[in-house]
Amino acid sequence: MKLFGSEGNQHCLKVLAALEVTGVQCDVQYVNHEERVVPFLSRPVLPALLLPSGQHLFSSNAICQYVFEVSGQPSSDVCTQWLEWEATELQPALLQAVHMAVLQGKGAEVSQVLQGTLNYLDQSLSKRTTPYLTAESVSVADVVLWAALYPVLSDSTLALGEHKSVQAWFDRMTGIPGCQAAAQKVLQGKGLQGLKGYMQKQPAPQYSQRRHPCNSSSTESDEGERAVSEEEMEAAALTWSKGLDSCPAPAERQHPILPQEGKRNLLVTSALPYVNNVPHLGNIIGCVLSADVFARYGRLRGWNLLFVCGTDEYGTATENKAREEGLTPQQICDKYHAVHDSIYKWFQIDFDFFGRTTTERQTEIAQNIFWRLHERGFLVEDTVEQLRCESCQRFLADRFVEGICPHCSYPEARGDQCDMCGRLINAVELREPQCKVCRQTPAIRSSKHLFLDLPKLESQLEQWLEKSTSTGDWTANAKQITRSWLRDGLKPRCITRDLKWGTPVPHPDFAEKVFYVWFDAPIGYLSITANYTDQWEKWWKNPQQVELYNFMAKDNVPFHSVVFPCSLLGAQDNYTLVNHLVATEYLNYEDTKFSKSRGVGVFGDMAKDTNIPSDVWRFYLLYLRPEGQDSAFSWADMAAKNNSELLNNLGNFINRAGMFVSKFFEGCVPVMDLQQEDKRLLAQVGWELRQYIQLMDKVKIRDALKHILNISRHGNQYIQVNEPWKRIKGDDADRQRAGTVTGVAVNVACLLSVMLSPYLPTVSQTIREQFKAPDSCISTMLQGAGCFVCTLTAGHRIGTVSPLFQKLEPEQIEALKKRFGGQQPEEEPPTKKKTAENAAGAKPAAATPAPAPAAEVVAVVNGADPEKAKQLTQAVAEQGDKVRALKAQKAEKAAIAAEVAVLLDLKKRLTLAEGKSAEPTPQKGKKK
């Protein structure tokens, strides 16, 4: 990394302080304030960070976040809110204050300008119990705000009023040696006056209305229009004039796709969905849809890309599902593989190959990796005590046993963890264990198993991780989760299971066992590719030529960043390891979570029944893609985004541009005589295109989408200001102006069709068909840093233009919300609950006829409801998985407690549905 900065630049102070505080190593070069170091920007921007990839970061706050992330300290949500406040509220006030004090000699008026922001910061700090803005230790938010405020707060001549909490925090920060060193380097001991040279080169600032973080619900950007220089406008006009002459049309995909010399070869995988679950919207955006958008974008960029996925079909859950439905495991896999395939086709997921793990290739490759690990001493044997149900004639997996917790006596602890006290449990430690299938008491039996010796591979893993995370695009949560696994040292991990349904272990001493699903499942990526092409090793044993992108939700991270890489490293067969690990947070449903059993939320097989096009579903899921934090699907918000962004913004602009051509110019694009206003639009659109490409290259899919919407906003404003519908009725000059505006607008619409292609493939294709756009426009616009050229030249005849989107009406949305809201079991009245408890405690032999109300209650408690119990069993399993995931990620205690409370309530309902008392039965003299 190389940082370019300038002395006396307060933004450089932020970045230098971040480097000093974190200890991240970086070359620093001081240049003149006016030196351009970012090649595609027409104006000088400092500081600028040159990344190893050749990309530039040129926002000081973004650079600081990057530095902290590299050091292992990703930004929290609160940090991000403070950084946003600093950029949008504090920074404008500070720029005006510094301008007044340094260049106008109005130091006495500075207090008035800064009073509101300093008061807000003081109040926020006074309410905190921690010494810093967000935690017990210094965060990126502390460094950025301290550096921003340092020039004014360190100047004793400015009377800024009394802000005790701010001053105490500022003094703590200033006392940090790294902060002191950074201030000395940038300001050279001159304090506020050290900024004079830099400020003289800056335009006079304009002050704006202040807002504060954490109390605004708006998600839209209210930032003002970006200034465009004459130079940018002329450069944009020159690019526009180049047209499509020298650009070939994109080549059709030829299968099998194989790595090519001299090309960027990308292998893209989506986490393999488990076969026996119908994916909900959260599963779809977390894995396959995100990967699909990136894969589509990569193809448009001209990269040689292979996108594979498939269903994960082995394991305990499949056996259980087969038992529930009275089918064989293979029949269950066949049934639900078809369900998945149908869902993904409807969502337009464009896999190059969608396979499955129950294949001969899977067995062959998994067993080969196993033997290579065994031969190289990376597998160890150990005897494990397990619970075996003699009635079911099998060893019980953790999810099939529950009993009394040995630590807190909670009566429904699972075989791996107690959801009441949170302690990890070995199933054999449970008191009074029960098989969840037949409710019989299992016996303890010893069983020999094989373990992957992760400690022996740990140093190799850490060396590889250091390189991969520093050179690749790993999301912050992926890095954080991986570090948490490594922090306490790795332990051997069992890779075998006493099951029937799985890849057989080939070792003769373990012939009755199969591979544990998390050893076996990631190998599915390899076997699925092998079922696509016999030359699969050109992708999977070719790290010199191939970049591997893994897409998943955060709960899958450790298996892709630790366990699977260790398997491949230990196999020592030149395997391709992940270069870019892209993990999302969770998508929730309204104010709760998805649950098939309770009918809550939209699942993949239901979306098409809503009569909402799949492109609209894609748009909304991608608009709220949980990139940095959990997000929630909302019907009201979906309708609002469809009606405002798709219909009124994007669709309105594209439809108007096309209609003007049809109505005013007989369907032919008019001659365009560019004026400064047109060139300004070209420059604005070109800048948005370049931002889109930078973000998409870094897999910032949600953020890139906002730049598409910005372009259509620019276009709508351009049309509104120039009023071609009025000018067409004027003199020749007005008619010429109407023609230019219409021609430019329809070309912007054509660009939008290209940028939309990864997100809304059907709409994108429809736009190009309506405008009869040449195929070569697709590959031209997204080359290099972005190239907005005139694709629909004067005289080009367009087709029939029609609306792209439809309004979602309130009554339609309300009906869908009700339909997918689920049937929540109502709470019983207290008297009924008490009666039920009494009834549950009654002797079974009580056959005396009871009054009607009591008889009804006994029917609920002592008479089990199998259908309801089945639904609740699934709900308990889902909620238990969520609790365990939160604990594995070391989530906030309050968040865990809330989910545990939900789990306990579900278990209580399940107990009643099974015809048992909701209270633990006293255990008297029961035989062990």
Three-state DSSP state, 364: helix
Q: What would the pLDDT profile of 673-705 be if each residue is shown by its tens digit?
A: 999 999 999 999 999 999 999 999 999 999 999
Pairing of strands 56-57, 493-494: unpaired
**CB contact set of 667 (below 8 Å; sequence gap of 6+):** 661, 797, 798
Neighbours of 509 (CB within 10 A): 10
Contact 885, 903 (CB under 8 A): no
Q: Which two tokens stand for residue 549?
A: 């992108």
Token representation of residue 352: 């190059």
Find how far residue 178's CA is from the centre of its chain.
33
| pTM, rounded to two decimals | 0.67
Beta bridge partners of 592: 589
How far is residue 694 CA from its own chain's centroid?
A: 17
What are the C-alpha distances in Å from 603 to residues 278, 597, 606, 617, 903? 7, 11, 5, 12, 22
Report which of 486, 484, 488, 492 is spatially closest to residue 456, judged by C-alpha positions: 492
Ranges under pLDDT 70 in the chain: 40-43, 201-226, 245-250, 422-424, 596-598, 822-868, 870, 881, 884-895, 897-898, 901, 914-928
703: how many CB neighbours lie within 10 A of its CB? Answer: 16
Question: ∠789-794-796 over CA atoms, to 5°?
Answer: 95
Sheet bearing 493-494, strands edge to edge: 394-395, 379-389, 443-452, 493-494
pLDDT at position 898, please?
65
- d(C-alpha 913, C-alpha 905), whole Å: 12
**3-class DSSP assignment, residue 112:** helix
Please give the backbone phi and psi of residue 666, each rounded to the nearest 5 degrees, phi first.
Answer: 55, 35
The C-alpha atoms of residue 333 and residue 310 are separated, in whole angstroms, by 12
Report whether 528 contacts 308 (CB < 8 A).
yes
Are 706 and 642 in contact by the 8 Å Cβ rule? The answer is no
Give me the pLDDT at residue 212, please: 43
The answer to whether the beta carbons of residues 764 and 297 sit under 8 Å apart is no
Name which of 867, 880, 863 is nearest 400 in CA terms. Answer: 880
Count of C-beta atoms within a 10 Å radius of residue 533: 17
User: Can you give the pLDDT at residue 329?
Assistant: 95
pLDDT tens per residue across span 752-765: 999 999 999 999 99
Q: What's the Rg (C-alpha) of the chain?
A: 31
Report the alpha-carbon distance of residue 893 to residue 907 in Å, rounded: 21
- Tokens 């075989």 identify what position? 415
The Cα-based distances of 152 to 209, 395, 486 in angstroms read 21, 70, 43
